Amino acid sequence: MSAVPLLAWAPNWQTAGALIIAERMGRAIRNPPRDVMLSHASKEIGYGRGFGLHEALDQLGAMTGPLVVAVVLAHHGNYRAAFATLLIPSALTLALIVVARALYAKPTELEATVHRIEATEFPGVFWIYLAGATLVAAGFADFSLITYHFHQASVVPNTWVPVFYAVAMAMSGLGSLLFGNLFDRVGFWILIPLTLISALATPLVFLGSLWPALLGAAIWGVGTGVHESLIPAAVATMVPTQPRPSAYGIFTAGYGVAWFIGSLFIGKLYGVSVAWVVVFSLAVQVIGVPIFLAVVRRMRPQVE
């Protein structure tokens, strides 16, 4: 939380680069224990609802932060002042963590009813699910490449790109709330149609004109919400309490590595042909669907 505000005092690009890397490393280290705590806190209200609410709030921050920076830039025209302003939400976040640590020292106690099962191994369905999730992650194009394509192909005017991104983030937050509740009601299988729908974003943004690209950005936002809320929420439904922290660590690592490798490959393909980007993205994500079907068949109600 301190890395981004400290950019205001970075004396050179090397320091700025190191701070950005530190922020990414901090996020990577933070996410698995955060998801574990979310899984405990969401047990009584529903995993989908809990993770969906978190993602909606996350996207609200993702929209608010850049707007705050834009306002500061408009008034002062100074990036240092803009980054320094972010010290306020950073300090508030750290203060809330201290309060949460004092009130809920043991996250497992957030679950009102916990049936202790001393399980230390991951169920086989977890590994099957991880394989499917990594395929879906590998085929999901990053918005930075989408933005680059908009510029290169002159599909979307540069002034409209922030609007497209705002639409994507809004759909991510709203979709997380809606589909999170559906996840709790109908179960894991909701990920199958959502994965197929999310895959449609790629041909729309890379092959479509202005309005199809806007629709594609909205669908991409829905997919982002699924990736950030329902996909990690599903881990809590299949892994008992005892090994869950390790499960989230392994899942986050595998998922992140797959997304990195897939993004690298998609970037290379873009230099060859946009059509190949679409083919690869669709194929890899669709291959993940039968794996999810296998997960549905193997899922059984688990008492933790």
Quick one: tokens of 249?
A: 């660590």
For residue 7, the 8-state DSSP code is G
151-182 residues labelled b (16+ CB within 10 A) or e (exposed)? eeeebbeeeebeebbbbbbbbbbbbbbebbeb
* pLDDT profile of the chain (304 residues), mean per 10: 91 92 88 85 84 86 80 82 90 92 80 56 90 95 92 86 85 90 89 94 94 95 91 90 89 92 94 95 95 87 43
pLDDT at residue 113, rounded to an integer: 57
Query: CA 3, CA 5: separation in Å to the nearest integer?
Result: 6
pTM beyond 0.95: the answer is no
Which helix H or strand E contains 304, and what residues bound it? none
pLDDT at residue 115, rounded to an integer: 52
Query: CA 71, CA 87: separation in Å to the nearest integer?
Result: 16
Q: How many C-beta atoms lie closer than 10 Å to residue 126's C-beta? A: 19
pLDDT at residue 304, rounded to an integer: 41
State the chain's maximal CA–CA distance in angstroms: 58
Residues 6+ apart with CB under 8 A from 124: 298
pLDDT at residue 192, rounded to an integer: 94
Tell which residue, 47, 44, 54, 27, has the closest CA to residue 173.
Answer: 54
| Domains along the sequence of the chain with CATH | 5-298 (1.20.1250)
